[in-house]
Amino acid sequence: MRVATGSLNCSFDNSIINMINEDIHWLVLVTAHVLTEEAQGETPMIPGEIMRYSIQQSTEIDLNTTLKVLASPTNNIDTIPGASTHTDHAIRLISAVFRLCEVHKQSVTAKMVDTMSPQVTSSVMWLLRRWSRSYLLPDENFYNQMSKAICAGFGRDTDGAQWSVQFLLDKILVYLAAWNAEEKTLQDILQLLVTMVDNRTRNWLGKWLTTGPRSACCRRLHCASCTRPLSWQEPV
């Protein structure tokens, strides 16, 4: 496979790309099992070990830095001051998955879908489906203690949750366009969308997905891809 970039032609070895995608696939699966638990027939919850670990970090992290790392998937993390030392580790881990999604979006935009893997996409969708059921808008009544970082990043009535929902919706659209001919991958993508809507404890999320503007964005979260002020409010 050859990819033209301006006047420079770059040759890629498909075997190397396949090896990289295979490694990413397994890293995504490991990340899913670290951050989430099976919840068959039960209410999905953030694992107690992750919650306690996040709470224990509260004196060492900077909340603004953590949120900036989360909401800057297009930026090199090394350019964010304090990112390596003052970011909540649980949020940094899921932000790495968000960055992978952003790389995929850029690949689609650059017409380099051939470098992507439907297996990796399915793995990412599976991870995000499990993750969103537990972390996105968690019911605080189910927890004795809540991590401030997780609450700020994904809790109800927060800029972080609104940004995360918008980000996931945008990426779902990108993946649908890229894999519309791959039935299995397409099903995995749609299952993530269904999971985000089909949750009775998140009635306002369902309303927003169907009535809220796709342009909703969180300037206060230092969103790297948008400078528009937050204009959407939760439906009542």
Please give the pLDDT value at position 224: 43
Range 211-223 average pLDDT: 43
Please give the pLDDT value at position 14: 82
Range 114-125 average pLDDT: 95
Please give the pLDDT value at position 126: 96
Strand partners, 177: none
Please give the pLDDT value at position 196: 85
Statement: residue 94 has pLDDT above 50: yes
Statement: residue 34 has pLDDT above 90: yes
Statement: residue 99 has pLDDT above 90: yes
- Model pTM score: 0.80
Helix, strand or coil, per DSSP, at residue 14: helix
Beta strand residue intervals within the chain, DSSP E? 2-5, 8-11
Range 97-119 average pLDDT: 94
Residue-wise pLDDT tens digits, 150-202: 999 999 889 999 999 999 999 999 999 999 999 999 999 999 999 888 754 45
Q: What integer best gives the mean pLDDT of the chain?
A: 82
CB 199 within 8 A of CB 138: no
Statement: residue 88 has pLDDT above 60: yes
**Rounded Cα gap, residues 120 and 187, in angstroms:** 14
Range 107-132 average pLDDT: 94
Residue-wise pLDDT tens digits, 126-154: 999 999 999 999 988 899 999 999 999 99
For β-strands 2-5 and 8-11, DSSP reports them as antiparallel
**For the chain, percent of residues with pLDDT exceeding 70:** 78
**For the chain, percent of residues with pLDDT exceeding 90:** 66
**Rounded Cα gap, residues 47 and 134, in angstroms:** 9
DSSP labels, 42-104: S-----HHHHHHHHHGGGT--HHHHHHHHT-TTS-GGGSTTTTTSS-HHHHHHHHHHHHHHHH
Q: Select the more confidently predicted residue: 229 or 95.
A: 95
Query: What phi-psi label fits residue 222: left (phi over 0), alpha (psi between -120 and 50 degrees) or beta?
Result: left
**Rounded Cα gap, residues 162 and 197, in angstroms:** 14
Please give the pLDDT value at position 208: 54
Please give the pLDDT value at position 42: 76
